[in-house]
Amino acid sequence: MEFMNTKKKTDKRMTLKEAIATFVEDGDTIAFGGMGGIQCVAHAYEIIRQGKRNLTLIGDSPCEAGDLLVGAGVLKRMEIAWCSYAVAGLAYNFRRAVEKGIPHPIEVEDYSNFTIGLRFLAGAMNVPFLPTKSLLGSDLPKYNARIKTMDDPYTGEKVALVPAARPDVAIVHVSRSDKRGNAQMFGFSSNAENLVRAAKKVIITCEEIVSTDEVRRHPNLTIAPEYTVDAVVEVPFACHPWNMPYYYAYDIPFHVQQLAAFRTREGFEKWLDEWCFGVDSWEGYMEKVGWDRLERLRRVERRFTHISC
């Protein structure tokens, strides 16, 4: 398949299994959308299930996907600002890899959340780097040789430079999309707008596929236009146990149970056997979680978003 031609298709729908198999290759640099929820969980499980290897992950806070992929031995390198689970607990797999080389050592290149965003913006603008002053008060330039400092040619003041990020594949979960790839987001989109423009190939997953007419009724919500997108996949509850604004709430009890298993290497491997390899697709995962439980999360989110509106 010629990847560039896929952006011109008028119907880009496929399954998650097909999208990962088609567009993610061993050795690729990948990046995920999402922050503060909207984590790409279904996508990480599918990458693990397909046995992808030697990937580089670029991201600001790739909590769930980062920890799952490093624990499964998928990643060789991470260019990130942060990797943990916020209110639910620590990223045990990430810490084991960095501190003990389990399951194998990984390279880590540190940035701040803001400067990872600048890197995606530079990639989207097709410029080699962007300047910032925010790193000058930190030790990041000391430990990251790719952060350069220079004198501003206009004022003579010091500025730091961060390199553009141009991932081979961007995987972004959104609220809804049409079959052409015009993707829309309700709520916080993080770096998604720049990520889809910086990446060579883009997989859009969504909670629901809607008509192009419906997308056109609310054009201001479109964060990824069709000319940036290679594949569209409908994946309801793709962020579970995380939340998806306006669709379902955060399943904290499930997450606490999950991270209790992740405390040990044996517990993580057992979890993968049950929740990743023990099912053949995300649909199997959702059935295992239970449709009643997932629908309760949907009702909770709808109740809160109704109150907030």
User: Averaged in consecutive runs of 10 residues, what is the pLDDT profile of the chain (309 residues)?
Assistant: 74 98 98 90 98 97 93 98 80 96 97 96 98 94 96 96 98 98 94 96 98 97 97 98 95 94 97 97 97 96 64
pLDDT value of position 2: 47
The pLDDT score that the predictor gives to residue 187 is 87
Q: How confident is the model at residue 26, as a pLDDT?
A: 98
According to the model, what pLDDT value does residue 88 have? 67
**What's the confidence (pLDDT) of residue 115?**
97
| Alpha carbon 84 to its chain's center | 13
Tokens (6 digits) for 175? 């609220």
Q: How far is residue 205 from each of residues 36, 98, 214, 243, 303, measured CA to CA in Å?
A: 17, 30, 17, 15, 25
β-strand 183-184 against 169-177: which pairing, if any?
antiparallel
Per-residue confidence (pLDDT) for residue 282, from 0 to 100: 97
pLDDT value at position 141? 94
Q: Which two tokens stand for residue 275?
A: 């929740």
User: Domain segments of the chain: what residues?
Assistant: 9-111+166-308
Decide the pairing of beta strands 107-110 and 169-177: unpaired
Q: Which fold has domain 9-111+166-308?
A: Glutaconate Coenzyme A-transferase (3.40.1080)
Angle formed at CA 105 by CA 102 and CA 106, multiple of 5 degrees: 120
**β-bridge mates for residue 106, sequence order:** none
Choose among 179, 129, 125: nearest CA to 150: 129
The answer to whether the CB of 67 falls within 8 A of the CB of 262 is: yes
CA distance 84 to 95: 9
Query: How far, rounded to the nearest angstrom, does the alpha carbon of residue 245 sit from its chain's CA centroid?
Result: 16
pTM: 0.94
